[in-house]
Amino acid sequence: MSMAAVETKKITLRTADNHEFEVEEAIAMEFSTIKTFFDENPDASEDTIPLPNVTSKCLSAIIEYCKSHLAFRARETSSSIDEQVRTYDEEFVKARDNESLKELILAANYLNIKALLDMLNQAVADRIKNKSVEYVRRFFGLENDYTPEEEAAIRAENEWAFEGVDPDDD
């Protein structure tokens, strides 16, 4: 016999490194990929959902993020709430190194969490804004595949873009 108690439904997610996470349905629905899956398969609620593209490290961070933002949204909007959201977001990205930032972007992209993706992209943009070409290269771990002449040509064509660059300090 069950009273009409509100049971928070839980959904199980399995990461690439075989960890299982049990999350409340509300949080899982923040992942548009999962939401779409359930919209199209309403009876599949008991299965564990595999997420082969997401590591446990990423997923736990993402779950934290979604939990916190859901809690913020449940409260009344006000400028002090906005301030708290901003602070939370800043803290969320501040301590992460470039690698984990990029991993999070991949995961957020795969799970299709729009707000998180936007916030992470902004964080990346903030980190490479006004930086030198070399800095950006290192950030993305890319090799320079231009010849020196080619690179010089791009710079010459676009002199206006190369003024006022921050000096590299690392």
Partner 1 sequence: MEREVGLDQLGDLALHIILSKLGPEDTVRVSCVSRRLRLSTSEDSLWALFCFQDLQLSTPQDHQGNPASSFKAAYQLWREAFAMYPWPLVKRVKRCWDKLKNWLSNDFPEVEATLRSGASESDIQQLETRLKVKLPLPTRLLYRFHDGQERTDEGHSSTWLGSSLGIIGGYSFYNHLVNVYLLPISQVIEGTRMVIRHLGFSSRSKYIVVAASAYRPKKFFLNCTNGQLYVGTSNLPTDGEMIQCVPNALIRSVHDLHGDQQQDAMLLWLEEHGRRLENGIIKVCEEGNVRSISLFPEVPPLCSTAVTNGVQVIVVRASAAFVPELANLQDSAEKYLFAYSIRMSLLPGGCIIDGMTFSSCQLNWRHWIIRANEAIISDVNGEAVIGQFPLLHPGEDEFVYESCTPLSSSSGSVEGSFTFVPGWRTRKEGHLTFKWQGSPCRSQIMFSDKLLHSFLDSMLSPWFWKILSDNKYERLRHCETLF
The C-alpha atoms of residue 37 and residue 45 are separated, in whole angstroms, by 10
* Nearest C-alpha neighbor of 127 from the set 86, 85, 82, 170: 170
Question: Toward partner 1, which CB reaches closer, 40 or 157?
Answer: 157
Smallest distance, partner 1 to C-beta of residue 150, A: 9
Smallest distance, partner 1 to C-beta of residue 121, A: 4
Residue 161 to residues 111, 137, 166, Cα–Cα distance (Å): 35, 17, 13
Structure tokens, 154? 């791009």
Which H/E stretch holds residue 152?
A: helix 148-157
Smallest distance, partner 1 to C-beta of residue 112, A: 10
Q: Is 18 in the site for partner 1 (CB under 8 A)?
A: no
Q: How many residues bind partner 1 (CB under 8 A)?
A: 40
The dihedral of CA 69, 72, 77, 81: what is its sign?
Answer: negative
* From candidates 149, 159, 169, 170, binder to partner 1 by CB under 8 A: 159
Site mask for partner 1 (CB under 8 A), range 122-141, x = bound: x-xx--xxxxxx--xx--xx
Residues 68-97 that bind partner 1 (CB under 8 A): none
Q: Which stretches does DSSP call E strand in 38-105?
A: 49-50
Which spans of this chain sit near partner 1 (rule: CB under 8 A)?
Answer: 17, 99, 102-103, 105-106, 109, 117-118, 121-122, 124-125, 128-133, 136-137, 140-146, 151, 154-155, 157-165
